[in-house]
Chain A
Amino acid sequence: MIDLTTRVGPLTLVNPFIAASGCFGYGVEYKDVIALDRLGAVAVKGLFLAERQGHPPPRIVETPAGMLNAIGLQGIGVHRFVRERLPELRALGATVIVNICGSTLDEYVEVARVLSDQEGVAALELNISCPNIKEGGIQFGCSLTGTYDVVSAIRQVTRLPVVPKLTPNVTSVASFARAAEDAGADAISLVNTFLAMVIDVETRRPVLSNGMGGLSGPAIRPIAVRMVYECRREVKIPIIGMGGIASARDAIEFLLAGASAVQVGTANFVDPFIWERLITGLGEYMTRHGVSCVADLVGAAHATAVDPQCASS
């Protein structure tokens, strides 16, 4: 009997596949494509306290096996999310991870407070890694003390699982994983996008209105896998891995590197019906390898064992 459930700290997910924040709207946009309760979880688009306009277009540009985005965290703000989107997500049975943002520590804390009072929020993913906005986010995510401070401040105001999302745009991601764990994070998710640029050689200007953007897609996958592998050796808390996953095989690579669940973003743009293929593909792999639970795959690429347990045990 194949069991696809997976534990991510206090969370138990029906399978390891999570729709990545910023790549799935607020989830409800996809309700006619995939029953949202078929997904391990839905990580909704990043929310500040107030609405945000985001950057002017062009906001994306393609690259070999990837794409850059600089959306600028356009969003409806946490209050409208709670009023206008959360009830429907709850009705659809989605496991909702809310990605939260802040320009200041106080804003992160306030957004976390608002969400902690709501039924139907499964966890908070802290966006301390968006490369595309000047204020907030990355200023916490690129500093070890900043990461520690924002995680511990939110830890104090919520009983929800706290999952900081780490940036790869630092020298040692593992040291940031350590800071997050020390501050009381329940899990970490990684990686956010890689800061990058595309220049139009005819106009001699960057293509994106914001100049720089974040690189995602299959192009970044081997770097992301390496970073998950490094973090698995550094911390005990569970990891949600992501970066260029476009097939069950890619997802399994992240599990073997040490992720207990994975997020899929860019590939969902290419194929919004990818989820059933991922679920089926993982089940087939587990059958073929005689593995009955996801935890038996988590970290299995490490020569010395890391120790998650089967969700059902």
Chain B
Amino acid sequence: MLVDLPAPVLSNLRLSAHYNVVALEAPAIAHTGRPGQFVMVKPSPGFEPLLRRPFSIFEIVRDAAGGPVGVSILSKAIGITTRQIYSLAPGDTVQCLGPLGRAFSMPGAGQHAWMVAGGVGLAPFVTLAEALRGQGTKTTLFYGGRSREDLFYLELFEGLGVRLVLATEDGSRGERGRITVPLDRALGEARDLDVRLYACGPEPMLAAVAHLAARHGRACEVSVERVMGCGLGGCYSCVVPALDAGGRQHFVRSCVGGPVFDAASLVWE
């Protein structure tokens, strides 16, 4: 069920000079949120900034007994809202609306799940990896960043039994260059595997993954990030170009039609 809560900040883990993870006490959202869904967050009251910002549910925060008590968000400080989020402290409250949007669909029995993340696009993959482990799916994370300082939570994924393939632009960790290069190679080598792709990250990376999925004949879901006004389908600002059943291009709202889309249903530049 959709709720809007003044969610107390449980913790703020600063991962680097820009990245941080804020855990929010929001049991109602933690209970029903599914991998790929998002929350609309406003870290301060008032009109600057005016609107909320969308964030993927990064982790389900659990109490000692394992019960879901909240959600965390992965943020990169680049604008007013994300700078406010970077400076939050335990005890602050954040207005949090969710869970919202279309979740990832899960792979079938025998399918392998390959998750592809670029930078802050790691956000939806912790919850997905947990759900995949829950149903025994063999999972790989292809994860690219600028340098090794921009790659986070590797131990967490390893702890979930996820195989890691890393790439950095400066070559400081994993392969030098874009993550789509090892992905392309692996897809070529895995012709006998039934692989399902999941991608989240910068638009050019998503386009490249969508093209690779099409070329290798693999199912692929992408989680898109757009400037979003409301998160509920009211404002029509967060649209992406998509193809309808007749192959005609039209704009669909990523808040209610997504943020998770079948990559083949979108129009890639």
Q: List residues of chain A with CB under 8 Å of any chain B CB.
A: 22-25, 29-30, 32-33, 45, 51, 53-54, 56-62, 64-67, 69, 71, 74, 217-219, 246, 266, 268-273
Contacts and interface: CB of A to CB of B under 8 A. Distances in A.
A32 B231 CA distance: 13
Interface in B204-248: 226-227, 229-230, 232-241
Contact of A54 (B226, B229, B251): B251
Given A22-B236, A25-B234, 12 more contacts: A22-B235, A30-B234, A54-B251, A59-B239, A60-B229, A62-B50, A69-B229, A217-B47, A218-B50, A219-B47, A268-B230, A270-B51
A137 to B, nearest CB: 16
Contact of A29 (B47, B52, B237, B256): B256
Contacts of B241: 56
The 4 closest A-B pairs by CB, nearest first: A29-B233, A65-B47, A269-B230, A60-B237
Contact of B233 (A25, A56, A64, A67): A25
Contact of B250 (A53, A69, A246, A269): A53
B116 to A, nearest CB: 23
A270 B52 contact: yes
Contacts of A269: 51-52, 229-230, 234-235
Which secondary structure dominates chain B's binding surface? Answer: loop
B67 interface: no
B231 to A, nearest CB: 8
A70 B97 CA distance: 25
29 contacts: A22-B235, A25-B236, A29-B233, A30-B232, A32-B1, A32-B2, A33-B2, A33-B232, A54-B239, A56-B251, A57-B226, A57-B240, A58-B227, A59-B227, A61-B227, A62-B50, A62-B51, A65-B48, A65-B50, A66-B50, A71-B235, A71-B236, A74-B239, A218-B50, A219-B47, A269-B230, A270-B52, A271-B4, A273-B4
B207 to A, nearest CB: 15
B4 to A, nearest CB: 5
B229 A67 contact: yes
Which secondary structure dominates chain A's binding surface? Answer: loop
Nearest to A63: B50
Contacts of B234: 23-25, 29-30, 268-269, 272
A9 B48 CA distance: 38
B136 interface: no
B50 A272 contact: no
A56 B75 CA distance: 26
Contacts of B240: 57
Interface size class of B (residues with CB under 8 A): 20 to 34
Nearest to A269: B230
A246 to B, nearest CB: 8
Contacts of B235: 22-23, 60, 69, 71, 269
A56 B97 CA distance: 27
Contacts of B238: 57
A70 to B, nearest CB: 9
B237 A57 contact: yes
Nearest to B47: A65
A54 B237 CA distance: 10
A57 B230 contact: no
Nearest to A29: B233
Interface string B32-70: 000000000010000111111000000000000000000
A86 B238 CA distance: 24
Interface string B182-200: 0000000000000000000
Nearest to B249: A53
A266 B50 CA distance: 9
B227 A60 contact: yes
Given A59-B239, A269-B234, A269-B235, A217 B97 contact: no
A74 B242 CA distance: 14
Contacts of B1: 32
B12 to A, nearest CB: 23
B146 to A, nearest CB: 20
Given A30-B232, A269-B229, A272-B97, A64 B47 contact: yes
A56 B267 CA distance: 13
Nearest to B239: A57
B36 to A, nearest CB: 19
Contacts of B52: 269-270
A270 B50 CA distance: 7
Interface string B1-25: 1101000000000000000000000
B236 A54 contact: yes
